[in-house]
Structure 1
Amino acid sequence: MKDAIGVIGGMGPLASQLFYKMITEHTAAECDQDHVPLLILSDVTMPDRTGAILDGKYDAPYNRLMEDAKFLEKYGCTAVVVTCNTAHFFMDMIEHELRIPFISMIRESAKEVASLHPGSVVAVLATDGTVKAGLYQRALEAEDLIPWVPDADIQKEVMYQIYDRIKKGLPCDKASWQKIEDACLEAGCSRVLLACTELSVIKNDEKLSDWYIDPMEILAKRVIEFSGKKYQ
């Protein structure tokens, strides 16, 4: 497939489906051929990324992501993206071994927030693995933003939404989400980054306000622009 963007997805499937929908709906197109060519690899058997980071056992997800990225590279993709924030911990190790660019959802999101809200306090709602690895904290600080991460009790609510609700095909627990939102407000956050693609599903399903910034939406925009298409 000529000039395709390679997408490593399946982490989880609902998020990958939403990403494809975002790209399709936001590409200015009058016919099929005007859309972005994508080669989507839904690797649902990918080992758990958060568990690997917390346990310090990186080999399984690292090797699988390397295999997937090389597969997409081999089949002519012009760039690769990953629809999982936590997986970026491993992709940061892998990208220098690829011959095609890796478009980082995390770096692009930090740049976008900095352009809209310079110097602001930004909440990071993410998996324990993403938080522990400091992926968004470092990216935000590099853009002169102030990251805020939840305390242990609120972080449990975030993990509950990700693993016990969305990954199990269940809707957002609204009472739990209200606790999360209240904590972000009390911390004085100007914006909230939904730094896990399962949380992107919640934003879409619950029609959350623009106070919540979805990194997957930002990545979709970058993919459209990288492909030489117009974002609408």
Structure 2
Amino acid sequence: MPPPLIGILGGMGPAAGVDMVSRITEETLSSTDQDHCPVLLYSPPGDIPDRTSYLLGHSSSDPAAPIADALVRMAGAGVTVAAIACNTAHADPILRSVMQRLGRDAPELRLLHMIEETVAALGDIVPGASTIGILGTQGTYRFRLYEDRLRKAGYDCVIPPRQVREHVVHDAIYDRSFGIKANPRSVTPKARENIISAVRTLRDQGADAVILGCTELPLAVRDAFVEGLPVIDPARMVARALIRDVLPERLRPWPVPSLSVRR
């Protein structure tokens, strides 16, 4: 019997969904094509409004319904376990409605939670870290997607000052000339420098490690360490959780040593 079909809901932005599929490939132990997990990527960017604009009240277009529609369609195509390639889409005003719809129309589909999988993995990937820095969209900050879960798990957390959040990080993602969404195939030096600068700020605030809490950010920062801090890619964390769910014997072990905190 073939393993269950993994589904990735992309389009938020399109490059982030492709990147999550790449993470699944990278995190799979394989010597042949046939060793890999079956994966379906569905990327309907034109159907799903911007999550941050909705959460901040700048738009009345609720992304929950089209996200749920896409996941129901994926379940109809045979997907049994899925992930959404967007951190901000996990904010409660969006995800609560999505889960209600899935419970009614696709109860067989299990949706893994990117933020919860990331927080659960920290003890293994950054042993010794006690203070976690968070980079993300304004929607992710407004609804405390990471802060509340990190504190519940026993971590302290820090976020950049408002000026850095609203201009340095936001512009790295959204600016229409140099931002990552505008240049996903060739990230501009300006966007990368903005992110590095924000990591530097978090380091100076006492962070031991930094979560890149927007799926665009790892497109610009591929390094395991930035400014001496381990950087965590949530897309990789949920990719590993998906492999563990369907082909656990194929999950690549963490490198030894892992992303230990440098003190």
Relative to the length of structure 1, the TM-score reads 0.91
Where does the alignment leave 5 or more consecutive residues of structure 2 unmatched? 253-263
Moved over 4 A (4+): 56-59
CA distance in 2, matches of 1:193, 1:48: 21
Aligned residues: 230
**Number of the residue aligned with 1:187:** 205
1:148 positional shift: 1.2
Q: Alpha-carbon deviations, 1:186-210, whole Å to 9, x = none?
A: 1100110000001011122xx3516
How do 1:1-232 residues align onto structure 2 when only pairs under 5 Å count? Answer: 3-45=4-46, 46-55=48-57, 60-89=62-91, 90-96=94-100, 97=103, 98-99=106-107, 100-115=109-124, 116-117=126-127, 120-155=130-165, 156-164=167-175, 165-169=179-183, 170-173=187-190, 174-204=192-222, 207-209=223-225, 211-229=230-248, 230-232=250-252
Report the Cα offset of residue 119 of structure 1: 6.8
Change (3 A) 1:58 1:149: farther
- Distance (Å, rounded) in 1 between the aligned partners of 2:40 and 2:132: 33
Query: Is the 2:16–2:216 Cα contact (8 Å) retained in structure 1?
Result: yes
Q: 1:92-126: CA deviations, max 9, x gaps?
A: 44225241211111001111124444671111100
Asked if 1 retains the 8 angstrom alpha-carbon contact of 2:132 and 2:208, the reply is: yes
C-alpha separation in 2, matches of 1:57 and 1:175:
29
Deviations 1:161-190 (A, max 9, x none): 111221011424244334212211111001
Residue type of the alignment partner of 1:17: V
Instruction: Kindly indicate which of the two structures has a greater share of residues assigned to helix.
Output: 1
Preserved CA contact (<8 Å) 1:6 1:79 = yes
TM-score (norm 2): 0.81
- Name structure 1 gaps, 5 residues minimum: none
What letter matches 1:82 in structure 2?
Answer: I
1:197 partner SS: coil
8 A Cα contact 1:39 1:77, kept in partner: yes
- Equivalent residues of 1:65, 1:91 under 8 A apart: no
Say whether the 8 Å CA contact 1:119–1:144 is kept in structure 2: no
Q: CA RMSD in A?
A: 2.1
Q: Percent identity?
A: 27
